[in-house]
Amino acid sequence: MPRYKLVIEYDGGPFCGWQRQAEDPTVQGAIETAVERFSGEAARLTCAGRTDAGVHAIHQVAHVDLAKDWRTDTVRDALNAHLRPLPVAVLSAERVTEAFDARHSAIRRHYRYRILNRRSPAALTRAHVWQVPWSLDADRMHAAAQRLLGRHDFSAFRAAECQAKSPVRTLERLDVTRERMGLFEEIVIATSARSFLHHQVRAMAGTLMLAGSGRLSPDDVAEILATRAKHRCGPLAPAGGLTFVGVDYAEK
């Protein structure tokens, strides 16, 4: 049975997350419906990283098995035709072997969190940023972020409903930079790991925001991590500021 690797982009705003639900609209449900409409098959997708309600993606990866050996450009174009007018696009479709698994073959996942750091609200990007109107020190945020790198128990940054068997994760990258373009002031948090806990990135973003505002020091952030003191974390950053930006696979 041919297996297809799909690279997908979507605006998470209208959806209740990636994972199919019985009643609510989801990204997985929308794409699986499109698959059935063009192929006649009730196929199921497996993705690299299930995103929460409101979280976006510019390079989500999923695989799907179909009975017919379709041309890859036909798969891409047919899915996009049936997805309109939803804010979901299949950027590419590629034939892969059955050994490829979008989730289990992944060796690294990448996320980006965007903070609009200015008094005036966003006009064009309001659904894709967290507006923080008070001044934030990006260098101080970056210094605090470096205290979270490495292999740790991230219980302090884990959702209460997280179903992961272990809270231990290895954080490979957590960089904070400020980007300026005229009066546009955006702080970007870029992070990478093999896997993340439920709400981990958003919890880290909220905590780093407190560091940037001077309410937490880098040592405080390290202490929150070490003591697993969830009550000392910052607020859970809004979902709209988070984007799944890529996934790495081992070379063939």
Tens of pLDDT along 37-60? 999 989 999 999 999 999 999 999
Cα(80)–Cα(199) distance, integer angstroms: 30
How far apart CA 12 and CA 243 sit, in angstroms, is: 9
The whole-angstrom separation of Cα 182 and Cα 169 is: 38
252: pLDDT strictly greater than 80: no
Confidence of residue 75 (pLDDT cuts 50, 70, 90): very high
Residues of the chain with CATH 3.30.70.580: 3-96
pTM of the model: 0.95
CATH fold of 107-249:
Alpha-Beta Plaits (3.30.70)
Residues carrying an active site annotation:
52
> Which residues make up the CATH 3.30.70.660 domain(s) of the chain?
107-249
**If you average pLDDT over residues 148-167, what whole number do you get?**
93
pLDDT score of 182:
66
Helix (H, G, I), strand (E, B) or coil at 212: helix
Average pLDDT, the chain: 95
Domain 3-96: give its CATH code: 3.30.70.580
- What local confidence, expressed as pLDDT, does residue 160 receive? 86
Q: What is the pLDDT of residue 4?
A: 97
> 39 in helix, strand or coil?
helix
